[in-house]
Amino acid sequence: MNSIVNAKIFCRKIWLTFALAILGSPILAAQVVPEREQSPSRTEAPELTEEAEKAIERGLKFLLANQNPDGSWASDNGDYAIAGTSLGLMAFMVEGQFPGFGRHGKALDRAKNYLLKRSKESSTGTMGVKMYEMGLFTIAMSELWGMTKDPEDNKVIQEALERSVKIILRSQSPLGGWRYAPRPDAGQDTSVTSMVFVSLASAREAGVLVPDETIKRVTGYLRDQAWDERTGGFGYQGKGYTIACTAGGVYAAQLAGNRETEWVEAALNSLENNPKMFSRKDNGHFYYSHYYAMQAMVQAGDNRYANWYPKIRDALISLQQPNGSWQEKEKDYPHKTPMAIIILGTPHRYIPVYQR
């Protein structure tokens, strides 16, 4: 595995050096197209518009202005700091910005150091209060590995990542899913399973071993326990349909190697034909569901991506608050703003787990 890891680190370092040296800022690597000039065909993936890029910049400025002194992002009462900080880092990474580099390098270093400190302080290796946070932490570590300025970080990040993956692997239920607690007897639901498996896919992309048997069991859970032939979508616990679980379930199923199956196709169709999908009022888990749905459409190919991205792009731009955030109340969960940025930044394709 070391040769795989070393090759990954080398290639990603070469990419980052090239982007910084030749482009001045990694953000410029994705072409920004004025709104009036953009008219993607059904076979051409859409690119960033100037309006979307400005929305991303306002969102990143909000995150910088609201970063805690210890480097974290969390809810106002300090909850969900692992999830908020992991997503906050990824919001910058989706724009090609990494700890130690560029104008925000110091702020991102603080966020990285906060997560590594929390990992070191955890006697069990578990992170956060639920497996959602464990999954997001694992994605962040996977994408940070080999991409920070200080080479001494690599070993620390590697150790934190591998320990996190081991906990996730041994917490898989006999039926193939995961639930809130890091125990195999905790049960399973489609929401947690989707988050956790996406993190394993990210770790695998980074070079960490994820057994084929684990992936096979995830497929079995999603197809046999959660997918509902009547609705075409996924239920929360058992068969049924929720927008968020269908979006997360189909993305996890794609990453598990089921892209061309009839049941995955049916789930994609159900999302495309759901009239509540782009309604903030009717889609209760709006940001969470679109975080998955956007990436599912990327996996489904350029036709679906080209049709989907402009809709969620325009919806998110309309929902952005005057302060640059996507917080809808004074005390809100910390995931909404970074998830919105990650969705808007999809054309950059800088984070491997968000690539096809």
Q: What pLDDT sits at residue 22?
A: 36
Locate 176 and state its tokens: 């193939």
pLDDT at 54 over 60: yes
Residue 302 has pLDDT above 50, yes or no: yes
Is a pLDDT exceeding 90 seen at residue 331?
Answer: no
Give the model's confidence band at 45: pLDDT under 50 very low, under 70 low, under 90 confident, else very high: low
pLDDT in the model for residue 16: 46
Residue 234 pairs with which residues in a beta bridge? 227
Confidence (pTM): 0.88
Q: Residue 273's pLDDT is what? A: 98
pLDDT at position 150: 87
Alpha-carbon distance of 52 to 297, in angstroms, equals: 19
* 134 within 8 A of 80, measured Cβ to Cβ: no
Mean pLDDT computed over 143-150: 91
* Rounded mean pLDDT, 268-289: 97
* Domain at 134, CATH number: 1.50.10.20
Task: Please check the confidence at residue 27 and state whether its pLDDT lies above 50.
Answer: no
With beta carbons less than 8 A apart as the criterion, state whether 211 and 169 touch. Answer: yes
As a residue count, the chain comes to 356
Q: What is the pLDDT of residues 61-88, one digit of tens each?
A: 999 999 999 999 999 888 999 999 999 9
40 with 31: CB under 8 angstroms?
no
Mean pLDDT for the stretch of residues 3-13: 47
- Of the chain, the percentage scoring pLDDT greater than 70 comes to 87
What does DSSP assign to residue 149? S
Parent domain of 326: 2-354
**Which two three-digit tokens encode residue 237?**
């616990």
How confident is the model over 101-139, as pLDDT tens digits? 999 999 999 999 999 999 999 988 889 889 999 999 999
User: What's the number of domains the chain is made of?
Assistant: 1
Q: Is the pLDDT confidence value at 51 over 70?
A: yes
The lowest-confidence range among 16-25, 243-252, 311-320 is 16-25
Give the confidence band of 30 by pLDDT, cuts at 50, 70, 90.
very low
Share of the chain above pLDDT 90, in %: 77
Average pLDDT of the chain? 89
What's the rounded mean pLDDT across residues 184-202?
A: 97
